[in-house]
Structure 1
Amino acid sequence: MERAHAVEDISFELARGEILCVVGESGSGKSVTANAIMGLLPKSIHVASGEIRLGGANILGLPPGQLRDLRGRVVSMIFQDPLSALNPLMTVGAQIEEAMAAHGVGTRASRRERALALLAEVGLPDPWLMIHQYPFRLSGGQRQRVMIAMALALEPSILIADEPTTALDVTTQAQILKLIRDIQRRKGMSVMFITHDFGVVAEIADSVVVMEKGRVVEQGSPAKVLKTPTHPYTRRLIAAVPRLRSEDRANAARDSAAPLLKVENLVKTYRSGSALLRSLRVVPAVQGISFQLAPGRTLGVVGESGSGKSSLGRLLIRLMDADGGRILFEGTDIAPLGERSFRSLRPKVQMIFQDPFASLNPRMTIGTIMTVGPIAHGMAPSQARDEAHALLAMVGLDAGAYGRYPHEFSGGQRQRVGIARALMFKPKLLVADEPVSALDVSIQAQILELLDRIQRETGVAMVFITHDLRVASQICDEIAVMHKGRIVEQGPPSQIFFNPRADYTRELVAAIPGEQAEARPAVAVQS
């Protein structure tokens, strides 16, 4: 049933110098609330009643000119996806300077000096080089730092951060959280931090607001909300948060089974630019990777962005060619096979992509998306249709999903479609590339439970690529930790997370948000 209001009867206070975390699932109204404060609501949405008081004055209904004067100078915002929020045609320096120029602050020289200082303040290396870079040349963590620098350019009193760490790896996430907390304390800013990760709440919050379906259902101190929640919705969210498991996953499949997949000394190097023009860039993405995987078991591949995880996944399903090494699938080396030779094996090796919306054709119905591949490989249309209906039911979608389009589904539902599509061929190997990284904790828990059930029922082997170590401990039988293209440590989750041998693994575990919160003194709420 659709609700009449995006948000309804929302009331909360953000005190001076406080970090307020707003928590809830997708669709709970968190971002709508933030955009209403910034005066950035789309034309299709308007505020029917209520007030937003800033320094005692109601800012709702202010003329556009006065709102523009407030934005950036008094209230500033860090958006969830920095790549889409940054202008791809402008250098990062020009974008930071533009915020100051729009408010008539300083001269061109002083704005450039201020931009360099901001880039250094947010921890970006070589600011004098970084200032000339375009957004696409930066990593996700670096782009997020640029967004923070832009938001801080005019030293606002209030900073709104909308899911700024959702898709970042644990170490980058820890750096960004520390950066926001340090800047907030140093400048005495008030911060409204929107998130669906209770680990982040435990890490930085002074007070918490929990939202469900457009309403505030609970608010209070982090200790009260996290340890003694009163609302059933809050309790469900906290129960769904993945935690590091000290016991390894119970799995009927045995390591002693003959390996389905055996990887030996796999190598992939990216080259761009020109040696002649002295712009040649060589990036060793995968360096001598070796492992094996038995049927019915899951190998987790963890590491920071740029560690080579996704490159390894693309090599395994032959979306790109390896420079060296062997990929033995059921005893056959598939690494040197051309596309024509590999085509007959492709149904046996399937992938679940990170972004189900980008990987689903928006012009096709779910039924067509699921059946077009099997029909192309010789399956009768009637059989493909029956298989699709059965798999949609298996992943928890109703029969009506078959005739609908991807945009009609939520993120979690689209990911279920992606899983069902991958299972249409009855594969023996699934490569899951960050399949739950952008999902709410409750949806994430459902997808992990679904993958676990499917594996137990079908015996499919999985390579599960993730940057979330808590997720990896829930679903993986073995963990391989990647760093700069190499596996630095491999073993069962209990050993990797509770007795790591490599320094890099210890750094990853220490960076998990919320895991270390108990050891830190509480931060007093400022009024």
Structure 2
Amino acid sequence: MDDATMLPSLAQGVSRRRAGPRVDPRALGRENSTMTATTETASPQDLALSVHDLTISLPPGMERPYAVEDVSFQLERGKILCIIGESGSGKSVTANALMGFLPRPIKITSGAIHLESMSIVGMPAEQLRSLRGRVVSMIFQDPLSALNPLMTVGEQITEVLLAHGVGTKQSRRVRAVELLTEVGLPDPQLMYHQYPFRLSGGQRQRVMIAMALALEPAVLIADEPTTALDVTTQAQILKLIRDIQRRKGMSVMFITHDFGVVAEIADSVVVMEKGRIVEQGDADQVLKSPSHPYTRRLLAAVPHLTGEDRSRTEEAAAPVLKVENLVKTYRSGGVLFGKKRVVPAVNDISFEVAPGRTLGVVGESGSGKTSLGRLLIKLLDSDSGKILFEGRDIAGLREPEFRALRPSIQMIFQDPFASLNPRSTIGHILTVGPVAHGTPYSRARDEAKALLAHVGLDAGAFDRYPHEFSGGQRQRIGIARALMFKPKLLIADEAVSALDVSIQAQILQLLEQIQRETGVSMIFITHDLRVASQICDEIVVMQKGRIVEYGPPSQIFLSPQSAYTRELVAAIPGERPDLAVPGALDSSAVAETPKGRKP
């Protein structure tokens, strides 16, 4: 898709979606400048946040001397500013600087930050702490590392209120349940007592959003808040943030790598590349007529629904994987601890995957997608049913019997932070598995370095630790680790959800290239239907543990049989009925074509 075709599409989505106040029109039309300053005309009293010439240094030995350099932007009251850029562009570092969360080796070397007219650079820690949650709050990118594993969800939300002396114990609990309801979590009363490990990735992200909104702060910093969410929940969360922003006059700094989200929510946009701002302006202007080549490249990389089946010429062969009537039910609680809870995570599921083909598994958070992936790789034991891998039923195999097959079935996990050992270097993480299965270390090391380069990381990554990488970079490491074994079946659980659009496109191309070269079969679990339409031969749509639709992309996206599938397609950000993009799906046509080919 060329830039000229791509740019009007998202811009039209922006122009249709806003009903609120607009950015000063004097900021428009400055197409000859790559640094259009939308906030130059704003007076100080109209600003919730202003950043001037901010420079943050990195420790010696990193790939560049500064995380951000000479960054300046302003956030007007009651507006939404989106900061967009690739992984490692400095978006999250900027947000952490505003919250006072920078680690010790990373320091602000120059510049000023004013929050609600208060200068926060050099502010005492106790004074800064009193502002967090009340004046400024943050939704973190990685919910698992941000939530306390030893506290229930309810305790963590009420802790925010308690820290600022808000309400009584009873009223804080009522408020916590209200917030859990507001962000769309099922059974909020029961969810209040759950621990983070019991929740899916998307559910944990919603808990983080509830915590950030607990005191309805003046400024909300949202660092990739919808990355782990399915499209329907993403639409709900974007609407929730917009509603609270308009009702309370809240200002939002929204960090994202998804231009579809920008088209839905932004008033103004800042584009960052390698620590510098390369373009900023009104959202309409940046999406309609971006002046910088980097912005145009990002826009061109945005995936769109195609509704086209992938062409295959191979003859039919015996499936690599065949699943028959697979069942997994979670049970918790009991007489001593209250009401017993029974959740059918995977309910009588059957499908098959042919050699060299990709099966997509899509659905909302909590639909059973990740549980299915863990059953297939035997990180969970199934209750009943068969998992036939190359004709052999592995469902009932004990771990010692299955261990020899593990190199042939690999998984790219949804949460890269939790799946990487924080005490091991990246080199050790990539090589320890192959070495344990008999590969000489020198060969494993060379293959690891080659794979790191293949997924877009420099050679120096081999000797560094996971905490030294951004969320998207950690996901690339997880992909490289899975590919070290040259598997026959690759299960990708949200493998590109944490990646910016340009790296996402590269990883999808990489997976397709590896599939062509090795014939590996893939199960691609994702909440992004745009990605699924581009890489999958067939798609399974799951809802509450069951398959509600099963077929090729042309059926799923052009003639869906299930109302649930139509709802998923209609909720995709940036996909509008009026977008005349070649190959992109008209979501209005989906809503009007309920009848489709039965699976």
Q: Give the match for residue 371 of structure 2.
A: 311
Q: Give the match for residue 543 of structure 2.
A: 483
C-alpha distance after superposition, 1:204-253 (max 9, x if no partner): 11111111122211111222112221111111211222211132223443
Q: State the aligned residue count.
A: 518
1:438 matched to 2:438? The reply is: no
Counterpart of 2:112 (choices 39, 44, 51) is: 51
Aligned AA for 1:460?
A: V
The answer to whether the 8 A contact 1:251-1:297 is kept is no
Aligned AA for 1:224?
A: Q
1:347 deviates by: 3.3
C-alpha distance after superposition, 1:129-151 (max 9, x if no partner): 55555544555445444444443
- Would the alpha carbon gap of residues 492 and 61 (structure 1) be closer, same or farther in structure 2, given more than 3 Å must change? same
Aligned AA for 2:122?
A: G
Q: Distance in 1 between matches of 2:418 and 2:149?
A: 19
Q: Distance in 1 between matches of 2:167 and 2:462?
A: 58
- Would the alpha carbon gap of residues 172 and 263 (structure 1) be closer, same or farther in structure 2, given more than 3 Å must change? same
- Would the alpha carbon gap of residues 46 and 511 (structure 1) be closer, same or farther in structure 2, given more than 3 Å must change? same
Q: Distance in 1 between matches of 2:159 and 2:143?
A: 16
Task: Show the 5 A alignment for 1:234-273.
Answer: 234-254=295-315, 256-273=316-333
- Would the alpha carbon gap of residues 113 and 476 (structure 1) be closer, same or farther in structure 2, given more than 3 Å must change? closer
1:449 deviates by: 0.7
Task: Show the 5 A alignment for 1:49-448.
Answer: 49-108=110-169, 111-112=172-173, 114-115=175-176, 117-123=178-184, 130-254=191-315, 256-274=316-334, 279-356=339-416, 358-361=418-421, 369-378=429-438, 415-448=475-508
Q: Distance in 1 between matches of 2:479 and 2:438?
A: 21
- Would the alpha carbon gap of residues 81 and 339 (structure 1) be closer, same or farther in structure 2, given more than 3 Å must change? closer
1:474 deviates by: 1.6
Q: Give the match for residue 523 of structure 1.
A: none
- Would the alpha carbon gap of residues 423 and 129 (structure 1) be closer, same or farther in structure 2, given more than 3 Å must change? closer
The answer to whether the 8 A contact 2:87-2:473 is kept is no
C-alpha distance after superposition, 1:448-481 (max 9, x if no partner): 1111001111111111111211111121111111
Q: Distance in 2 between matches of 1:168 and 1:414?
A: 19
1:304 deviates by: 1.7
Give SS of 1:31's match: helix
- Would the alpha carbon gap of residues 424 and 283 (structure 1) be closer, same or farther in structure 2, given more than 3 Å must change? same
Q: Give the match for residue 522 of structure 1.
A: none
- Would the alpha carbon gap of residues 212 and 121 (structure 1) be closer, same or farther in structure 2, given more than 3 Å must change? same
Aligned AA for 2:237?
A: I
The answer to whether the 8 A contact 2:145-2:417 is kept is no
Give SS of 1:302's match: strand
- Would the alpha carbon gap of residues 161 and 425 (structure 1) be closer, same or farther in structure 2, given more than 3 Å must change? closer
1:46 deviates by: 3.5
Of 153-162 and 181-190, more deviation after overlay is shown by 153-162
The answer to whether the 8 A contact 1:367-1:388 is kept is yes
Q: Distance in 1 between matches of 2:467 and 2:134?
A: 36
Q: Give the match for residue 64 of structure 2.
A: 3
Aligned AA for 1:476?
A: C
Aligned AA for 1:457?
A: E
Q: Give the match for residue 82 of structure 2.
A: 21
The answer to whether the 8 A contact 2:87-2:472 is kept is no
**Which 5+ residue runs of structure 2 have no aligned equivalent?**
1-61, 580-599
Aligned AA for 1:429?
A: L
C-alpha distance after superposition, 1:351-390 (max 9, x if no partner): 3333445444555565655555445445566665666566
Q: Distance in 2 between matches of 1:320 and 1:125?
A: 23
TM-score by length of 2: 0.77
CA RMSD of aligned residues (A): 3.2
TM-score by length of 1: 0.86
1:203 deviates by: 0.9
Of 286-295 and 177-186, more deviation after overlay is shown by 286-295
Task: Show the 5 A alignment for 1:428-507.
Answer: 428-507=488-567
1:342 deviates by: 3.3
The answer to whether the 8 A contact 1:171-1:512 is kept is yes
1:45 deviates by: 3.5
Give SS of 2:73's match: coil
1:72 deviates by: 2.8
Aligned AA for 1:209?
A: V
Q: Distance in 1 between matches of 2:197 and 2:436?
A: 36
- Would the alpha carbon gap of residues 355 and 188 (structure 1) be closer, same or farther in structure 2, given more than 3 Å must change? closer
Of 454-463 and 83-92, more deviation after overlay is shown by 83-92
- Would the alpha carbon gap of residues 502 and 164 (structure 1) be closer, same or farther in structure 2, given more than 3 Å must change? same
Q: Distance in 1 between matches of 2:460 and 2:97?
A: 35
**Which 5+ residue runs of structure 1 have no aligned equivalent?**
520-527
1:56 deviates by: 4.3
The answer to whether the 8 A contact 1:203-1:517 is kept is no
C-alpha distance after superposition, 1:487-517 (max 9, x if no partner): 1111111221222111111111112122138
The answer to whether the 8 A contact 2:85-2:257 is kept is yes
Aligned AA for 2:121?
A: L
Counterpart of 1:30 (choices 78, 88, 91) is: 91
C-alpha distance after superposition, 1:287-323 (max 9, x if no partner): 2211122111111111122222222222222333322
Q: Distance in 2 between matches of 1:75 and 1:408?
A: 26
The answer to whether the 8 A contact 2:230-2:364 is kept is yes
Q: Give the match for residue 41 of structure 2.
A: none
The answer to whether the 8 A contact 1:91-1:135 is kept is yes
Aligned AA for 1:510?
A: A
1:172 deviates by: 1.7
The answer to whether the 8 A contact 1:253-1:297 is kept is no
Give SS of 1:235's match: helix
Give SS of 2:525's match: strand
The answer to whether the 8 A contact 1:253-1:295 is kept is no
Aligned AA for 1:223?
A: D
